[in-house]
Structure formats: C-alpha cells, structure tokens
Amino acid sequence: MELFANLRTFGLDTVILRLLGALVCGTMVGLDREMRNKKAGLKTHVLVCLGAALCMIVSECIILGRDGITTDATRVAANVVTGVGFLCAATLMTRGNGSLHGLTTAAGLWTTAIIGLACGTGWLEIGLLTSALMLLVFLVFGRVDDYITRISRGFDLYAELVDYEEVPKLLDALHAHEVHFSGLQVTKSPVGSVIVQLNAITRHLGEKEALAEHLKSLECVRYLEMF
C-alpha cells in the first residue's frame, strides 16, 4: 500500500507518523492489560513501544546525518530487545504457593518492543497487524487456556492444614479419588499451620473442580489452591 510504503522514506513528516503509529500500537495492547489490572499497563506498554520506535529512528538519523559514519541498525534493535528483557523480569512474581505469575505480561512487553521497532523502521502496517494479533491472543487464547487448565488432568496443589497429624488425611483423600502425586513437600508456616505442596494428576479429564471442592470441605484444610 502506497500509504504505508511512504513511511519507509525519511523525513520529519514520516518520523512523526512512525511515532504516532507506535503510540497507537502501544495503546492497543496497553488498554487490554490495564483493564485486566496487570502490573505493566497502558503507560508502560505505550512507553516501551514509543521508546523502541525512537531507537530505530535515531539509528537511522545517525546513518543519514553524518558522512563517514557507518552503523548497524540491527545492533540497536538487539540492544532494545535485551534492555526490555530486564523490564520484563520486573513484572514476574512468585506467590507464596510457589506459582509464577506475570509471564504473559512479560511476553506482551517484549513483543510490544518489537512492534515499536517495526514502527520505527516505517513498517507501520506490520506493527498494527501484530498489535491486533496480540489482542486476539489476550482475548481468545486466554479463554482457551483457562478452559484447558480447568479440564486438564495435571495440577499443582497448595494446602494449609491444621497440623502435621492431618497430612495423612489429605493424602488419603487424594488416593480415594485415584490421584497420583509426586514432589510432596511438607513445611511449617510462620503462623503455625502446615503447608503441603505437591504435583498431581487425576485419572480422568475434568475432575479437578469436584476434587477441589471435596478437599476444601475437609475439616483439616484451612486453605487450598489447585493451579
């Protein structure tokens, strides 16, 4: 398309359009993350996309604006990706139950940086398309992932029990439902309860919800989560 092809030329007008395109792409993704109350929301995604686009524009300015100076624009892109990697690491967090959260947000930030690089080089149509595909992943694939997680056989179990004597009751309940488990860890929490963590697999698909309800109904269980 001629409209987008003109963005590959270099001038003040095309630079402004590239930055505005990065602003739009970052906003598309950031709005979804903000509405889902994620740690990296609208402002973070917009700034990452704008910053990546500006890096590519500055590298092009250096190439075109100074005689006798040569540079490799791919090095700039590689450094942007590396730098955003540290920002992504800040979005990751481990809960007390041992589960890791923030992976999707980190992956989204990383991809947003690449979108910014595309906008910065003038490939705005690719940036817009990728932003739309990211929204599709967040909206549609998120629901698919939740459904698969809900019906799958495998899960990690985190439970807080009254004391050590109650641990066999929990394990007997798992055996009664023909649940096979491994990696059993039993520790004492600071508040005095006993924490049980293990990896398990049910015999049939779709049994986890019923199993969770049964385990939570046990008198010895103060708190239980399956993920």
Tell me the per-residue pLDDT of 182-216, one tens digit each, with 9 for 90 and over: 889 999 888 888 999 999 999 888 888 899 999 99
Q: Which domain holds residue 157?
A: 153-226
Residues 114 and 41 in one domain: yes
Residues 131 and 173 in one domain: no
Tell me the per-residue pLDDT of 127-183, one tens digit each, with 9 for 90 and over: 888 888 888 878 887 787 778 777 888 888 999 998 899 999 999 999 999 999 988
Domain count, the chain: 2
Residues 199 and 138 in one domain: no
Last residue within a domain, chosen from 122, 150, 178: 150
Determine contact, residues 50/74, Cβ cutoff 8 Å: no
Q: Quote the CA–CA distance of 174 and 77 in Å, as a whole number.
A: 51
CA nearest to 25, candidates 50, 4, 59:
50
Residues 137 and 161 in one domain: no
Last residue within a domain, chosen from 95, 129, 150: 150
Residue 75: the pLDDT is: 72
